[in-house]
Structure 1
Amino acid sequence: MPKMKVLVIFGGESGEHEVSLVSAASVIQALDKEKYEILTVGITKKGQWYWGIDPQTWKLNNGTVSSHDVQVTLVTDPANPRFIPVSGNTLPGDGKFDLIFPVLHGPKGEDGTIQGLFEIAGVPYVGSGVLGGALGMDKDRMKAVFAQAGLPIVPHITVLKNQIDNDPDSIRTKVMTELSFPVFVKPANLGSSVGITKVSRESDLGQALKLAAAYDDKVVIEQGVKAREIELAVLGNETPQATVPGEIIPCKEFYDYEAKYIDDSKLIIPAQLNKKTVNKLQEYAVTVFQAVDASGLGRVDFFVTDTEEIFVNEINTLPGFTNISMYPKLWEATGVSYPELLNRLIRLGLERFHRLNVTD
């Protein structure tokens, strides 16, 4: 039988561009070469798409595009979806593929925008659809959905960049009235802890708000809690399953970008928790996944206090896939190897596509 053509897309315009390259390199390395023909498209930080890019090479040369690289675009024709060169030439295999595996993090990658393009083109892809991606990216709307589903969340405030620029005093008053320090200030639509600041005193709040607002027009200010950081991975479509929990021991004050991808934070899998708490975490993880209409994969992050009180932090619908990322490590500890995990994600992507595109 011919190999399935899996097209891996990576890079992108978000602040998580470099993380995407590392994740994509790991995915490409782990995909079964006997089963799949691997094609690639790299997206530059300016949003240009190039065929046949190697993510490791791109990372080494800071995403530099050479004169030999072929810029392409996706033909949004459900009867004949394919990539074509902008130059008008042809691609190997006429640019055709069987499934897209997006390894994109952050805005325009996992927020439902590129998924909308895939839907218009009529192509199968791995991961959540438009709604799941959008809710999984926007921390403000995500929390609203969590609250509606009866999930426990920490107190928070959402403010707009316009308010930060023009009326910072009212924000400061609201924080002082409704929350207590420390608080975490986060861009509403970003991941990998980019732009996040832990604020322990009022005098540092303004700078943290400006940093977060540099990445997004909406900023979420969350009540800090003294708790362990626990994560579970979820896999599935209509009947998702959750892994054993893992715990992060940050090498820094909190699990920021450098702690995740550069420094040596400690991952404990499985986390040392009593059976009742583990069962509750798994139940909550599945509820979170279904509440945002996620598909395929998701990593759900929790806070667990010393008394084992649980708070849902967030879901990441396209979590990191680097060799030190929690998502594949959690599934490995639950009995699913990295290559088999990728196989299942591909099957789930095809399953979702065929379910939603059944014609009489």
Structure 2
Amino acid sequence: MTITQDNRWVDEQGRGVDPFSLPTFADLVFPILHGPYGEDGTIQGLLELLRLPYVGCGVTASAVCMDKVLQKNVCQSYSIPLVPYFWFTRREWDHDQEQVLKSLSQKFPSTNFPLFVKPANQGSSVGITKAHHQTELISGIETALIRDTKVVVEIAVSDVREIECAVLDPNDSPQASVLGEIIPDREFYDYSAKYADSQSQAIIPAQLSKKLTEQIQSVAIKAFRVLDCYGLARLDFLVNGATSEFYLNEVNTMPGFTPISMYPKLWEATGLAYSDLLDRLIELAFARFREKSALNLIH
């Protein structure tokens, strides 16, 4: 089943499908969809209304993790390490750009460049730019506002290493995989590096100390739990190569899922084969459905 860019649902033969007919022929849905409407709780909410079991995080976790501002605010309240960040809305920018830039300069003095500028609600690094000075910062903000009504600005970590951890199982007993490291072939791991012709490399397991590995895995599990994730998520971290300080960068509630994607590759390196991983995720989806079906939700 495919959802096209113009919001049509089509089957493998290209025939149109009424999404509300899904319960008549589908036992379970594996919503491998990225970005707005796909991993932000929208499709998950539809599947809840249709009373269909589905793989992955529920409505709340999907929505919160998609919104970088909400995700960071929740994680910050639980003392999960994050890079310093500042966020604002399109209305604030349109109303008084000078005030927004003044607030940014107070949060991040000129010595803090470079900065990353991100739309709050996008996946796959869409709309992200790296600003080395004020002119690029303003340009990056305008680029981000094409994609969303909220913008997040963050400090770029020095001597950065990009580390990924896959988490699996129910929220009350999640397991963390071995860690992997992405070595991008450009300044940062952007959309082109992820999906276009790229020479970026993945190293599994990541070459980190045992202590640092365990610390990152522990934080990954903690973030998975406090964000109310379920089933699966890939948590991306930034590590300062000089100091070994690390920060949670983002939580992907529906990571790429081809056999060569990082999430299944991390579990394969941990000892769980691709087919067994799929079986486990399907089991979890049905288990959650049974648990929720037993609740009395009628008022």
> The TM-score by the shorter chain falls in which range?
over 0.9
Say whether residues 1:72 and 2:25 are aligned partners.
no
Q: Does 1:110 align with 2:39?
A: yes
Q: Match of 1:297? A: 232
Measured on the aligned residues, the alpha-carbon RMSD in Å equals 1.5
* Aligned match of 2:195: 261
**Aligned mates of 1:219, 1:114 — CA distance in 2:** 24
Q: CA deviation at 1:323?
A: 4.5
Look up the equivalent residue of 1:352 and give its one-letter code. Answer: R
Which residue of 104, 107, 130 maps to 1:175? 104
| Partner of residue 248 from structure 1, selected from 163, 170, 182 | 182
Partner of 1:138: 67
Further displaced range: 320-329 or 340-349 = 320-329
Show the 5 A alignment for 1:1-360: 41-53=1-13, 69-75=14-20, 82-83=21-22, 95-179=24-108, 180-226=112-158, 227-237=160-170, 238-262=172-196, 263-305=198-240, 306-358=242-294
- Check whether the contact 1:160–1:218 (CA below 8 A) recurs between aligned residues: yes
In the alignment, the residues of structure 2 paired with residue 83 and residue 177 of structure 1 have an alpha-carbon distance, to the nearest angstrom, of 52
Alpha-carbon distance, 1:164 to partner:
2.9
Which residue identity is paired with 1:257? Y
Q: Name structure 2 gaps, 5 residues minimum.
A: none
Distance 1:359 1:312, change over 3 A: closer
Tell me: higher relative CO, structure 1 or 2? Use CA pairs within 8 A at least 6 residues apart.
2
SS in 2 for 1:106: coil
Q: Cα offset for 1:155?
A: 0.9
SS at match of 1:277: helix
Moved over 4 A (4+): none
> Deviation at 1:319?
0.8
Q: Which runs of 5+ in 1 are unaligned?
A: 1-40, 54-68, 76-81, 85-94
Q: Distance in 2 between matches of 1:170 and 1:338?
A: 51
TM-score of the aligned structures, taking structure 2 as reference length: 0.93
Cα-to-partner distance string for 1:4-45 (whole Å, 9 max, x where unaligned)? xxxxxxxxxxxxxxxxxxxxxxxxxxxxxxxxxxxxx21111
* One-letter amino acid of the counterpart of residue 22, structure 2: F
Q: Secondary structure at the match of 2:31?
A: strand
Partners of 1:252 and 1:289 in 2: how far apart?
A: 29
CA–CA separation in structure 2 for the residues paired with 1:276 and 1:250:
25
Q: Residues 259 and 274 of structure 2 are in contact (CA less than 8 Å); yes or no, is this contact kept in structure 1?
A: no
Instruction: Give TM-score, length-normalised by structure 1.
Output: 0.77
Report the Cα offset of residue 163 of structure 1.
Answer: 2.7
Distance 2:119 2:17 in 1: 31
- CA contact 1:164–1:209 (8 Å) conserved in 2: no
2: CA distance, partners of 1:300 / 1:324: 17
Secondary structure at the residue paired with 1:304?
strand
Per-residue deviation, 1:359: 5.3
Paired residues of 2:9 and 2:19 also in contact (CA < 8 A): no
Identity in percent: 47
Task: Name the CA distance, whole Å, in 1 between partners of 2:192 and 2:273.
Answer: 26
Q: Report Cα offsets for 1:273-307 as digits up to 9, x if no partner.
A: 11111111111000111111111110001111122
Q: Retained in 2: the 8 A contact 1:187–1:219?
A: yes
CA deviation after TM superposition for structure 1 residue 339, in Å = 1.7
Q: Give the deviation of 1:169 after TM superposition.
A: 2.0
Q: Quote how far apart the aligned CAs of 1:351 are.
A: 1.1
AA at the equivalent of 1:173: K
2 CA distance for matches of 1:198 and 1:139? 17
Q: CA deviation at 1:329?
A: 1.2
Question: What displacement does 1:186 show?
Answer: 0.5
For 1:247, what is the secondary structure of its paired residue? strand
Size of the aligned set, in residue pairs, is 289
